[in-house]
A and B are shown apart, each in its own frame.
Chain A
Amino acid sequence: MKLTLKIWRQSGPNDKGRMETYPIDGIEEDMSFLEMIDVLNLKLVREGKDPVAFDHDCREGICGSCSMFINGQAHGPGRGITTCQLHMRRFKDGDTIHIEPWRSAAFPVIKDLVVDRSAFDRIQAAGGFISVNTSGNLVDGNATPIPKDDADEAFDAATCIGCGACVATCTNGSAMLFVAAKVSQFALLPQGRPEAKHRVLNMVEQMDKEGFGNCSNTGACEIECPKEISLEHIARMNREYLAASVTKE
């Protein structure tokens, strides 16, 4: 496969950055998208040029690192996949592929396609946990009965890998799907209820502080989410937030 890559290059946070064009040859359709970038980088290194910086780790769709906006879509074409799960067979010989970093005020570019997603960590630290004393008084997980439907839904929310595709794809740069998933996974379980009010209020407050946009329910995040997390979680977070706002002391 012969391709033309148009890739965002930015040497550092203070560089203005620009799209640069790289012709590439010898790409096989069985390669993953990241392997294709590896081939490009090998070529760039051999030519004495700076390779394209990009985030990647597990390469099996569970770490959420491989943030790339490919041909106008988060993680490229295809549903329910991360960039590492995208294969070159989705493209045709001679195609031009645009590759950009996530664009969000809350995700500043570090270099090329690498963005700083620590805003998500700070939102998590604001309430995305339960406080359990783990020293010596562990309770068996099955000791607390949980309806199967609730457990399943909580698990669906918990599949969020914090990749940031929801923010990247949202026309408003909103992080609602991420925060909603983190709120929901606890809101549905009895273990999450004691801290539910503070959790939703604090996490939403932190989300707003980080400079993410507002949700206008376009539904784009749900479509582009590699874990296909549902908008219903956003509605649940809205309910939790409304209830917590009017009943807080």
Chain B
Amino acid sequence: MALTGLFLCVFLIAHLAGNLQLLDMSPEGRLKFNAYAKFMTTFPLVKAVSYLLYFSILFHAFDGLLLATQNRKARPVRYAYEKAGANSTWYSRRMALLGTLVLVFLIIHMRSFWYEMHWGAIGVDADGNKDLFAVVEAAFGKAWYVGLYVVMMGVLAFHLMHGFQSAFQSLGLNHPRYMPLVKNVGVFFAVVVPVLFALIPVWMFFFNA
């Protein structure tokens, strides 16, 4: 859980760095993004890493499901009165729910772009590359779709808020000297990454002439 989670965190950084190119909506920016999308779907090393990524997503999801099922079984009779907020954060206790929401979002997200890029009927741009920018542009022209992205990035933020530092603890990497740093980096990561991701659809919705 921890290893795949941290790998997915690294992926988020790479994914974010690439997709921030979408903020440049000039004709050259569009061509550049499409060329980048072609590179990401054809370069062998990237392709190899992408299979590791698919595996990590599936492993993280199935392992999470298995752990959540075991955890449910571990307390067959619930408390009539529980004051869990006194000793832990709500999002640390709701990682399975948050993770499920992130997975549902991922399916929608991959159907919209990943599937289209690989198997959809996409036009080509001036350079002859698949015009993924146009697909993204059309999707982020819809207010409900942009809204979904913003809300789901909030969900991701809470998942990361606990998940990042929790992964270190699970791997045994807890040291009084470094744990405050890990926790602070985790909070920073959990806020900045989803906010920047959410910025892309919002930006494209409002600033696309």
Q: Which residues of A are in contact with B by a Cβ distance under 8 Å? A: 6, 8, 17, 19, 69, 71-73, 77, 98, 100, 103-106, 169, 171-174, 211-220, 223-224, 231-232, 234-242
Q: Which residues of A contact B82 (CB under 8 A)?
A: 72
The answer to whether B118 has its CB under 8 Å from any CB of chain A is no
Interface-central residue, A6, A106, A235, A240, by most chain B CB under 10 Å: A235
26 A–B contacts from the bound complex (CB under 8 Å): A8-B80, A71-B81, A72-B82, A98-B80, A100-B80, A103-B79, A171-B93, A172-B67, A211-B73, A213-B70, A213-B73, A214-B70, A216-B67, A216-B71, A216-B166, A217-B169, A220-B93, A223-B86, A223-B88, A224-B87, A234-B174, A235-B172, A235-B173, A235-B174, A236-B172, A238-B171
Known pairs A73-B83, A100-B79, A215-B170; list 8 more (Cβ under 8 Å). Answer: A98-B80, A103-B78, A171-B84, A216-B71, A217-B162, A219-B88, A220-B87, A223-B87
Q: Are A213 and B75 in contact (CB under 8 A)?
A: yes
The answer to whether B48 has its CB under 8 Å from any CB of chain A is no
Task: Give A100 to B74 CA distance when docked, in angstroms.
Answer: 17
Task: Give A104 to B74 CA distance when docked, in angstroms.
Answer: 6
A17: nearest chain-B partner, CB-CB: B77
Q: Which residues of B contact A232 (CB under 8 A)?
A: 174-176
- Counted as pairs of residues, one from A and one from B, with CB atoms less than 8 Å apart, the total is 112
B84: nearest chain-A partner, CB-CB: A171
A237: nearest chain-B partner, CB-CB: B172
Q: Which residues of A contact B165 (CB under 8 A)?
A: 217
Q: Which residues of B contact A71 (CB under 8 A)?
A: 81, 83
Interface-central residue, B93, B162, B174, by most chain A CB under 10 Å: B174
The answer to whether A220 and B74 touch (CB under 8 A), given A72-B79, A214-B67, A242-B171, is no
Task: Name the interface residues of B70-118: CB closer than 8 Å to any CB of A.
Answer: 70-71, 73-84, 86-89, 92-93, 95
Task: Give A211 to B72 CA distance when docked, in angstroms.
Answer: 11
Q: Which residues of B are in contact with A by a Cβ distance under 8 Å? A: 67, 70-71, 73-84, 86-89, 92-93, 95, 162, 165-166, 169-176
Task: Give A218 to B84 CA distance when docked, in angstroms.
Answer: 10
Q: Are B73 and A105 in contact (CB under 8 A)?
A: yes
B94: nearest chain-A partner, CB-CB: A171
Residue among A19, A73, A214, A231 making CB contact with B174, cutoff 8 Å = A231
Q: Which residues of B contact A106 (CB under 8 A)?
A: 74
Task: Give A171 to B86 CA distance when docked, in angstroms.
Answer: 12
Top 10 nearest A-B pairs (CB, nearest first) are: A72-B83, A239-B172, A235-B174, A213-B74, A173-B74, A172-B71, A238-B172, A223-B87, A98-B81, A213-B71
CB B194 to nearest CB in A, in angstroms, measures 20
Q: Which residues of B contact A171 (CB under 8 A)?
A: 71, 84, 88, 93
